Amino acid sequence: MSSDRVVLVVEDEALLLYSTADDLREQGFEVIEARNAAEALVALASNPRISLLFTDIDMPGSMDGLALAAAVRNRWPPVKILVTSGKGQPSLSQLPDGAFLSKPYTSNAIAEVFSRLLGR
């Protein structure tokens, strides 16, 4: 499996996390799961193979998905970022060099955005 196909999925809704992760695995991605930003930061620090981040904006804890995206952009600049929300699209200035996908989404839509972010 190509190392640029390792994706960290961050979603606090368990069923959506598991469904998205399973769908992405079927698309050929290696998936690491996190339920919040704190878990995501631990995963990123311990797994340098992560090249893609797919995060929900609205999450519990001290950091939402936009703050997580900004932290990832600052600490791991090569990681490509895709954020999602069912509550509307953030402004472009809130997206640190990433992309946005509105909920509900399909695994095909996620894979298409990832391919574009990876320059394929």
Q: How many domains does the chain have?
A: 1
Sheet architecture: strand order including 30-34: 30-34, 6-10, 52-56, 80-85, 99-102
If residue 37 lies in a helix (H) or strand (E), which one and from where to where? helix 37-46
The Cα 84–Cα 114 span in angstroms is: 13
Range of the domain at 40: 3-117
Please state the rounded mean pLDDT for residues 58-66: 91
Say which residue, 3 or 35, is predicted with more confidence. 35
Say which residue, 9 or 90, is predicted with more confidence. 9
Inter-CA distances, 93 with 55, 58, 90, 117, Å: 17, 17, 8, 18
CATH number for 41 = 3.40.50.2300
The Cα 89–Cα 97 span in angstroms is: 15
